[in-house]
Amino acid sequence: MPSPRRPTYRPAGRTGSTATGPGGNNTPASGRLDMGGDDVISASRSLPETAPDKPAAAKKPARAAKPAGEGKLRFPGLRKDKPAEPAGGAPNVLAFPEPKGKRRKRNLLMVVAAVVALVAGLLAGAVYSPVLALESISVSGTRLLTPEQVQGALEPLRGKPLPQITDEEVGRLLEPLVQVKSVSAEARPPSGLAVAVRERVPVALVKQGEQYQLVDVEGVQLAATADPASVSLPVIDGGAGTIGQDLFRATAAVLGALPADVLAKLSNASAQSVDAVELKLVDGQTIIWGNASEKELKAKVLEALLKVPADPKNPVKVYDVSVPRHPVTR
């Protein structure tokens, strides 16, 4: 086993005086090492002692270092450290082609966006284009009104593009005309508008002074006439102001349920109560109607009874349809 002592320097063949230096080593008294002549330098070192029962681990041979980048595929973004760049300076990137499905989806979205933009542009051009400005108005369905009255009320629409005109706007302009119950409008490009009017239906005449007012089932006054014989409508005795609103509505509801040909045969209508409505025919016959219930069935039964040929020997004076499933004539 090597000595555990530190290296000593001993001059060979010289008997000079020495002094013991620090640590017990023999060094020249001057504190310098004399390296001249035949001096011999001997050195030894202490090695760590190895436990006898635990042999020293064999030292693994060092692996040869591989050049940087050799034998590896580098993918950008997978490692935080910057990959080695080739001599040219450009990074070593492996590119993958875009999936066909993703490319097809992107192209489809681009086509759809282009079509939507084109359609939106065409619609905007049509809505605001002066080419489609309203110039002519045709009117149908008028009996109480004249087409000129309707056209005059719709005059503010002239010059407005057809796509901007709605039924609601036409209806608001025709509200002052009480004869109009509903209306619909249809564009006739490039500059026409067809207006179909549905008027209220007069069911009776109500005398007011020297005039007779034509009223519908709601009591709305639609027109006036001085000659009741010129209008094939019954006269409501007393009118809405005299017999009361309830009796007037009951009588008007009965008249509104009658067919036009039956209504034309009536001379007047009256009501003692809402359950006792009576009608008079121009021939003098009386119709006992009763209340306003089952008015559609009563109207059909009355129409059928009036079509029965008259018997000269037993003329019918009263038609009682107050119980429509069991009508009575006498």
Helix axes 245-257, 295-306, angle to 10 degrees: 50
**Residue 89 Cα to chain centre, angstroms:** 56
Examine the pLDDT at 309 and tell me if it is beyond 70: yes
Q: Does 192 share its domain with 213?
A: no
pLDDT at 17: 44
pLDDT over 60 at 31, yes or no: no
Number of domains in the chain: 2
Residue 183 has pLDDT above 80, yes or no: yes
How many C-beta atoms surround the C-beta of residue 32 within 10 A? 8
Q: What is the DSSP string of 278-315?
A: EEEETTS-EEEEESSTTHHHHHHHHHHHHTSPP-SSS-
Same domain, 275 and 234: yes
Q: Are residues 283 and 211 in the same domain?
A: yes
Length of the chain measured in residues? 330
Instruction: Give the Cα separation of 275 and 210 in Å (integer).
Output: 30
173 part of a folded domain: yes
Within a domain: residue 84? Answer: no
Token readout for 19 is 């002094």
Same domain, yes or no: 216 and 188: no
The model's pTM is 0.57
215 and 187 in one domain? no
Rounded Cα distance between 249 and 232, Å, is 20
218 and 291 together in one domain: yes
- What is the maximal distance between C-alpha atoms in the chain? 188
Q: Please determine, for residue 226, whether its predicted confidence score (pLDDT) is greater than 60.
A: yes
- Say whether both 135 and 175 belong to one domain: yes
Residue 55 lies in a domain: no
Residues 267 and 300 in one domain: yes
Residue 300 lies in a domain: yes
Same domain, 170 and 221: no
Structure confidence at residue 18 as a pLDDT band (50, 70, 90): very low
Query: How much is the average pLDDT of 103-132?
Result: 76
Please tell me whether residues 222 and 258 are part of one structural domain.
yes
Q: Is residue 72 part of a domain?
A: no
pLDDT at site 303? 92
Q: Evaluate whether 228 touches 267 at the Cβ level (below 8 Å).
A: no
Q: Find all residues with CB under 8 Å of 278, minimum gap 6, and list them.
A: 269, 270, 271, 272, 286, 287, 288, 289
Q: Which CATH number covers residue 225?
A: 3.40.50
Q: Residue 148 is encoded by which pair of tokens? A: 């000129």
Judge whether 261 lies within some domain: yes
pLDDT category at 102 given cuts 50, 70, 90 is: confident
CATH code of residue 144: 3.10.20.310
195 with 223, same domain: the answer is: no
Nearest to 297 by CA among 327, 268, 273: 327
pLDDT in tens, 38-84: 444 444 455 555 544 545 444 455 555 555 545 555 555 545 555 55
Residues 243 and 290 in one domain: yes
Structural domain boundaries, residue 303: 204-329
Q: CB count, 10 Å around CB of 222?
A: 18
SS3 222: strand
The domain boundary residue, chosen from 199, 218, 235:
199
Give residues with Cβ within 8 angstroms of 56, minimum separation 6.
Answer: 50
Domain stop point among 181, 199, 217:
199
Would 141 be classed as within a structural domain?
Answer: yes
Q: Is residue 90 part of a domain?
A: no
Please provide the average confidence, as pLDDT, over all residues in the chain: 77
Count of alpha carbons within 13 Å of 108, Cβ hemisphere only?
6
Structural domain ending residue among the three candidates 199, 226, 244: 199
Q: Are strands 318-320 and 286-290 parallel, antiparallel or unpaired?
A: parallel
